[in-house]
Chains A and B, each alone.
Chain A
Amino acid sequence: SQKIEQNSEALNIQEGKTATLTCNYTNYSPAYLQWYRQDPGRGPVFLLLIRENEKEKRKERLKVTFDTTLKQSLFHITASQPADSATYLCALDGNQFYFGTGTSLTVIP
């Protein structure tokens, strides 16, 4: 069965630094990989989607990379702000849709 791991359950960084979150997967070949943000008690909010034939995608302070050989995606938030504090979920999108366990990011002022 497929397995999705996100680097750590919690990540604390200083404001202004770049946060890097990792999503590794096995036993699956998704056509797309997506990243979502989830705040406590709320549904996830879509951030970025990257296709299997794309290496990198950017949106404002966000950058996503996708390495289908390593089966890994990296999610970067540059110039992080306290408002970026949330749980970030990666999701594999192929024949089926699977979410990772999420990484809780705290940006310290």
Chain B
Amino acid sequence: GAVVSQHPSWVICKSGTSVKIECRSLDFQATTMFWYRQFPKQSLMLMATSNEGSKATYEQGVEKDKFLINHASLTLSTLTVTSAHPEDSSFYICSARAASSYNEQFFGPGTRLTVL
């Protein structure tokens, strides 16, 4: 089956620093990748959609200058949380969709970010 990895699986950082999270599709080419945020006991909230080689499309209310997304290749997308604050602490999950798929998304295991 299609496998998506995320790195790191957890990170703790100081307020004001930037954190980069990587999302990789290991055995397929992902034409589209998605970034979600999930707070405790809540559902996944789509932050942005990125297509390889083009700028990401951000959902309403998500600051594109704060959450930088780079979809540099068909197997790698990165999310950088810039100048992180405690309220950015959350579970960040990426997913990838292949051009040949039936529209299902394959999710990474998630990254737990804690900002002190």
Chain A contacts to B: CB under 8 angstroms: 31-32, 34, 36, 41-46, 49, 89, 93, 96-102
Main secondary structure of the interface of A (DSSP, over half): strand
A69 CB to nearest B CB, Å: 22
Interface centre among B44, B46, B107 (most CB of A within 10 A): B44
| Given A42-B109, A42-B110, residue A97 in contact with residue B46 (CB < 8 A) | yes
The answer to whether A44 touches B112 (Cβ under 8 A) is no
Report yes or no: A99 in contact with B106, Cβ–Cβ below 8 A: no
Instruction: Return chain A residues, CB-CB under 8 Å to B25.
Output: none
Task: List the count of A-B residue pairs having beta carbons below 8 Å apart.
Answer: 49
CB pair A46 B42 closer than 8 Å: no
Residue on A with the closest CB to B9? A41
Given known contacts A41-B112, A97-B34, A46 and B106 CB-to-CB distance under 8 angstroms: yes
Q: Which of B6, B93, B102 contacts A44 (CB 8 A)?
A: B93
In the complex, what's the smallest C-beta–C-beta distance from B35 to chain A, in angstroms?
Answer: 12
State A99–B47 Cα separation when bound (angstroms): 12
Interchain CA distance A21-B19 in the complex, whole Å: 37
Q: Which residue of A lies closest to B60 (CB)?
A: A1
B26 CB to nearest chain A CB (Å): 14
Name the A residues within 8 Å of B43 (CB-CB).
Answer: 89, 99-102
